[in-house]
């Protein structure tokens, strides 16, 4: 299914980046649900992404941010020559390599990560610069007592 975002371009100004993100999200392959994850709002401008990475060591995981994208990779170490091969009767814990990408909103940055009990917790915070926060604008003219207020 293809969605046409042309009407969005006609009725808005400066949202072309948003439309591009929506278009790319609609094209992404969503068939891979591995690893499973949660996104939690922990405060007004704080978030935590938790990924189930059972069987992965810290050295086998990497986090990278580039522009407004967070990339999490898990790469299992190869079996060493001295290790004995393992024979499973049932293998239900997936330990395959993975890449998981998250698109971050403007002014959202990663502040830390912690691996605990097979769950990778990634802390994020939104820090809007002072120049972009709402402000009051004075209206010039006689009786200068009218203000435009923003929330």
User: What domains, with CATH codes, occur in the chain?
Assistant: 1-31 (no CATH), 34-77+92-129 (2.60.40.790)
| The model's pTM | 0.66
**Does the N-terminal peptide bond of residue 88 adopt cis geometry, omega within 30 degrees of 0?**
no
Instruction: Quick: pLDDT tens for 63-122.
Output: 999 988 999 999 987 766 567 777 889 988 777 899 999 999 888 999 999 999 999 999
Measured CA to CA, the distance from residue 21 to residue 102 in angstroms comes to: 12
Looking up tokens 């969503």 gives: 30
Contact 97, 74 (CB under 8 A): yes
Q: Write the pLDDT tens digit of every residue in 15-68.
A: 666 666 666 666 655 546 889 999 999 999 999 999 999 989 999 999 999 988
Residues 2/26, Cβ–Cβ less than 8 Å: yes
What was the pLDDT predicted at 25? 63
């Amino acid at each position: 299914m293809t969605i046409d975002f042309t009407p969005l371009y006609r009725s808005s100004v400066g949202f072309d980046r948003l439309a591009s993100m929506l278009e790319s999200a609609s094209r992404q392959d969503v068939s891979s649900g591995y690893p499973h994850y949660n996104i939690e709002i922990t405060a007004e401008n704080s978030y935590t992404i938790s990924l189930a990475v059972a069987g992965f060591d810290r050295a086998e995981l990497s986090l990278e941010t580039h522009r407004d994208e967070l990339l999490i990779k898990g790469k299992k170490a190869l079996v060493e020559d001295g290790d004995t091969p393992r024979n499973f009767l049932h293998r239900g814990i997936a330990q395959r390599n993975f890449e998981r990408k998250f698109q971050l909103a403007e002014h959202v940055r990663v502040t830390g990560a912690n691996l605990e009990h097979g769950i990778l917790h990634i802390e994020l915070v939104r820090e809007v610069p002072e120049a972009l926060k709402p402000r009051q604008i004075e209206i010039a003219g006689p009786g200068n007592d009218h203000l435009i207020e923003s929330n």
